[in-house]
Amino acid sequence: MRALTVEEARQRAADLDLQSYEVAFDLIGEGPTFVTTSRIRFRATNSTSWVDVKPERLLAVELNGQPLDPGALDGGRYPLTGLQAENELVVTADFKYSTDGEGLVRSVDAADGRVYTYGMSSLESAPRYFPCFDQPDLKAPYAVTVKCPEDWVVLGNGGATRIGPGEWTLAETKPLSTYFVTLVAGPFHQVRAEHDGIPLGLACRQSLAEHLERDADDLFRTTRDALDAYHRMFRRRYPFGEYWQAFVPDFNLGAMENPGCVTVSDDFVFRGPVTDAERSTRSRVLVHEMAHMWFGDLVTMKWWNDMWLNESFAEYMAHRVAEDATGYRGNWVDFAFVRKWWGLQTDQSSSTHPVAPDGLKDARQSLDDFDGISYAKGAAVLKQLAKYLGDDVFRAGVNAHLEAHEFGNADLHEFIEKLTEAGARELDNWSDQWLRTPGLDTISVEPAGGGVVLHRKSPDESRRLHKLSVGMYGADGSAALVDATITEDSIEVALGNGVAGGVVVADAGDDTWAKIRLDATSLANLPAVLPTITDSTTRAVIWNSVRDAVADAELDPRQALELFTAALPDEDSDVAVGSLIRWLEDKMLGGYLEYNAARGPVADALSNKLATTAPGSSLQLVTARGLISTTTDVALLTSWLDGSAAPDGLQIDADLRWTLVLRLVRLGAFGAAEIDAELDRDKSTEGVIHAARCRSALPDGKEAAWARIMTDPSVGVQELLAAADGFWHPEQAAITAPYVPRFFTDLPRTAEIRSGMVVGITARRIAPRYAIDPDLVAPAEALIADESVAPAIRRQTADFLDGLRRALEVRRTFSAQ
């Protein structure tokens, strides 16, 4: 099925004026399909168009009372001819339930056999479960009816009313784009509340009910705090009636901003102890989706090239509002360590792109741009813009934009126009530098007398302006900050007492978007000075500089590993420890460094850290997880698992037990029998997912796991991704070696059995990232160049190749030293 192009979308938007949708879902049957009827009223200025529908079987089409031939359906488009000024189109189709996270997803809970469904409409998915004109700038109100089993409840964009056994209606909505229409139906457990006249609700599977109830107060508190903050900030109330947050299974993202009914991955219904960082992340996800109610849902992009206006804005607001208005702190520390690091890597990849690209892609290709550019870089740029303009001007422009385009659509030009009317100046230049141009500058430090010289190196001619702070830190804990604005390629900054014995950090407050480089003296002093720096955000800036310098083969990875072991004892941020452990596992161990030589120092450092952390603390939990993943001490792991010698305060719950089992499988101490026994203890959907990861890690389970990943369209999203996660590991390099070339031959066919975001996510997860072999460059380049392969697979292969080339260069540069 061909994707919608921007030219087609613009023409259809000019031809049609949608008035309303009436959508009727019949979910009574127990088979793999369901029936939907869409009644669409619209005006037309052209006699021809088409409606989008991707069914198993098209049952009936009627236009203005005249039946049409269902056989005319062509590649997901049904042609419409003879359109009048006023039209009524009725389309009935038999649709297939989805397992790939898009369309109407059907999931069976392993805990009790109950069936749950939810709708995911983003980017080409809506026509997989209801006929529609599928593009963001064709908005209309929706009225929905549902027939379903009598023990089910129904939620959606409008308030739900049960009108009879197994029969529900949803209140007519405000005008919505197709991509955030949803339907949630099943025997969901519900928790209700109210705030400031707005009905609030939470929903989850029955098997997670006790866990949702335990966290309901925290979830509602975040919701109330964020609503109040957004009401103050945007000068208009939440506009979509009820506000439900439905935690749904087998979700392929963190959450989706459907007005009135946000769908959230039920991974965020925590079954046991989690870190403060994980709770804070959940809070930000909820605050992020709520920001979309104004920026994205109330005012929507015209086409996907302005998707950043949704995601960058929500990402920025999530950190800002979560920090200022909720009970969770350290949000900007997380941004620096986690989100910004993601974006910095993306912006240096071969697949980087502008935050707001001029090149207009089709709807399918736009999936690739849900990445670290559109989220993290865009958020950093907006944070920078608010500081540059002043918050009063920034907020005035944002509110004028929302008021001017309420329930409609707008683009970047119109956003800039409102900021300019509010008092902003020279935004065309800012837009060209930060939004229209990909890549990032490098800012380096050169000691000079009583100060430093900051050097700006740009990959292009954009000459971006940077407003930042320069910090000087001594081993005695002293710190001094000086503000600086970089307008030239080199500027001098006076630092008073100089830099001898200390560390100088450009952009110490993490205010700009650039690669930061430390001078040689600062690098040499880091092991002594880094533990004394009290600001976690500054430590994140330093670690991002170190991680990036290693990836660029400018810093010996062994020096970075020594810095980790030196700084870890004093690191008090669970965000920092968790982020650095992930970096070590993903990039350093088996990538930049030989696994067996590097793993030992990491495990030893984590073991020592664990001995000093407070029992029951977040630091204890995140450190314990890191130790489990790196130690080879089978006796230690089994003693934790059987409860005979677990650290005081560390709760070995079901999820941590599975982490232990996975590590014991990789060490060869556990096999299929132990996995089956653990699954017998944990007969939940979560247990099934964990077991899939563990079975994929079995030496004799590789072929079965590979077949599921590459050929089985029925496997659910979370189980699929778990199998991919468990497949590769440096300790199993010899076992998995035969599958490395098969990645390039087998992966392209996965786009034939799955669609949407999961295609690219699977490609990223199953890429052989620990195979650091120059012979892989050629097959990777061939796959990337093959235009018959799905764009998402080519994009992820390009990112894999970028990582491979970096690792090869790091090894070449430092192997003989």
Residues noted as catalytic = 289
Cα four-point dihedral sign 796, 785, 356, 309: negative
Instruction: Please provide the distance, in angstroms rounded to a whole number, between the alpha carbons at the two ends of the chain.
Output: 54
Q: Rounded to an integer, what distance in angstroms lies between the CA atom of residue 586 and that of residue 729?
A: 10
Closest CA to 1 of 359, 363, 367, 366: 363
Length of the chain as a residue count: 817
Biggest distance spanned by C-alpha atoms of the chain? 85
Provide the 3-class DSSP secondary structure of residue 723: helix
Residue with tokens 């101490």: 669
Residue 335 half-sphere exposure toward CB, CA atoms < 13 A: 30
Do 762 and 709 touch, CB atoms closer than 8 A? yes
CA distances from 270 to 73, 581, 653, 786 (A): 45, 21, 11, 42
Strands 408-410 and 299-301: parallel
Buried b (16+ CB within 10 A) or exposed e, 78-95: bebeebeeebbbbbbbbb
Q: Rounded to an integer, what distance in angstroms lies between the CA atom of residue 707 and that of residue 171?
A: 45
The set of residues, in sequence order, having a beta carbon less than 8 Å from that of 533 and lying 6+ positions away, is: 473, 479, 503, 539, 542
Query: 245: part of which helix (H) or strand (E)?
Result: strand 243-248
Residue 298 — φ and ψ, nearest 5°?
-65, -50
Q: Rounded to an integer, what distance in angstroms lies between the CA atom of residue 66 and that of residue 375?
A: 47
Do 188 and 205 touch, CB atoms closer than 8 A? yes
Query: 690: part of which helix (H) or strand (E)?
Result: helix 685-697
Write down the H helix ranges in 264-411: 276-292, 307-325, 331-334, 340-347, 378-389, 391-404
Closest CA to 25 of 140, 131, 138: 131
